[in-house]
Amino acid sequence: MSEVFGNLLRNAIRYNKQGGTVTVTLTQGRLAVEDTGIGIAEEHMGKVFSRFFTVDKSHGGKNGGFGLGLAVVRKICKKSGWTIDVESKLGEGSKFTVEF
């Protein structure tokens, strides 16, 4: 769980806008990490959990990362019997939800 939470939180911070917010909600059987960052374009939503995929290619790697974090998160969730879902709107932010 700490690896999943850490990756989601780091991404929410890394891809947020200056002055943006990150909200973490933990309830019975559910973790949600939401940010007001750059968001993910609709055409990229199917690839966000793929290895080596990053949504922020236009910044020349400014935000760092190799595109492995969400692939690792998905793998951990799958092995643990959990589900992970993402909702996002370009320019408005993203919300990742893990049900366990």
- pLDDT band of 53, cuts 50, 70, 90: confident
Residue 59: the pLDDT is 44
Residue 10: the pLDDT is 96
Residue 62: the pLDDT is 53
Q: How many alpha carbons lie under 13 Å from residue 99 in its C-beta half-sphere?
A: 3
- 2-99 classified as CATH 3.40.47.10: no
Residue 63: the pLDDT is 56
What are the boundaries of each domain within the chain? 2-99
What does the H/E/C string look like for 3-63?
HHHHHHHHHHHHCCCCCCCEEEEEECCEEEEEECCCCCCHHHHHHCCCCCCCCCHHHCCCC
Q: How many Å apart are CA 44 and CA 49, to the nearest integer?
A: 10
Across 22-30, average pLDDT: 97
Residue length of the chain:
100
Residue 97: the pLDDT is 98
- CB-based contacts of 82: which residues, under 8 Å, 6+ apart? 4, 76, 98, 99, 100
**Residue 60 pLDDT greater than 80, yes or no:** no
